Amino acid sequence: MLPHHHEIHRTHRIGWLRAAVMGANDGIVSTASLIVGIAASHATHNDIVLAGVAGLVAGAMSMAAGEYVSVSSQADTEQADLNRERKELDENEQHEKKELASIYISRGLDPLLAEQVAEQLMSHDALGAHARDELGISETGTARPIQAALTSAATFAVGAVLPLLIVVFAPVTDLIVFVTSASLIFLSLLGMLAAYSGGAGIIKGTFRVTFWGALAMGLTAAVGSIFGTVV
């Protein structure tokens, strides 16, 4: 008997990892950019804090609503495909069995073996077999709207709190420098964590997140400075 070999896969993390990284990244980038832009326009410290808090609340709610609507649409599409497939199985099971076998043949199985595999899989779970191999719908990638919405809102809020804390404790005269520097550090750590959790290259993931965050803050600071000077 062969020894049991336990393999570690990361595909089960795709749903929540995507929502978590997107939420935290947006929380840091949008709130830090907003703070830097407002600070560059020579606003008062209280106005900067108020803008940051408003950005946190609005952003978290926006992320939750956006994720819920988006993932719900995906879930509706998946359910419609499953209902259609269930109807086709009820009406013409033999045709669906041949269709499944043809998929396995295209993947390299011998025609006779492909028919046997299709027969056995459909006798066990016909809809599950077609969902997985014909439609590409699996338990791992199934859309979960509420999970995505809550994860995005919570991680956005966590990300947004970080630059807000810098605003509270940093000296007003060097606020832009402190918020920008700290936010880039936070983004670097987020990129490293996301890359590690997903099994991707850490350097590439860190650079990608940090670069776009720096670009967003730089452009927002420029806009704040220009309009603040004009006003």
Please provide the distance, in angstroms rounded to a whole number, between the alpha carbons at the two ends of the chain: 79
Q: Return the pLDDT at 161.
A: 93
Could you report the per-residue pLDDT of 111-161, keeping only the tens digit for each?
A: 888 888 888 888 888 887 788 877 777 665 566 788 888 888 898 999 999
Regarding predicted confidence, which is higher, 224 or 132?
132
Burial tier of 213 (Cβ tally within 10 Å: 0-12, 13-18, 19+): buried
User: How many of the other CB atoms lie within 10 Å of CB of 189?
Assistant: 16
29 is written with which tokens?
A: 């980038």
**Helices 14-40 and 175-198 meet at what angle, rounded to 10?**
170
Average pLDDT estimate for 156-173: 89
DSSP 60: H
Look over the chain and give the mean of its residue pLDDT values, rounded to a whole number: 80
201 CB-near residues (< 8 Å, 6+ apart) = 195
Question: Alpha carbon 214 to chain centroid distance?
Answer: 20
**pLDDT-based confidence at residue 192 (cuts at 50, 70, 90):** confident
Q: Determine the residue type at 126.
A: A
Q: How confident is the model at residue 211 (pLDDT cuts 50, 70, 90)?
A: confident
Contact assessment for residue 127 and residue 89, using Cβ atoms and an 8 Å cutoff: yes
The answer to whether the predicted template modeling score (pTM) of the entire model surpasses 0.75 is no
CA dihedral of residues 114, 116, 122, 125 (deg, nearest 10): -100
The closest alpha carbon to 34, from 66, 61, 13, 57, belongs to 57
pLDDT at 61: 92
DSSP 4: P
Q: What is the 3-state secondary structure (H, E, C) of 119-158?
A: HHHHHHHHHHHHHHHCCCCCCCCCCCHHHHHHHHHHHHHH
Residues for the chain: how many in total?
231
Q: Where are the domains of the chain?
A: 12-230
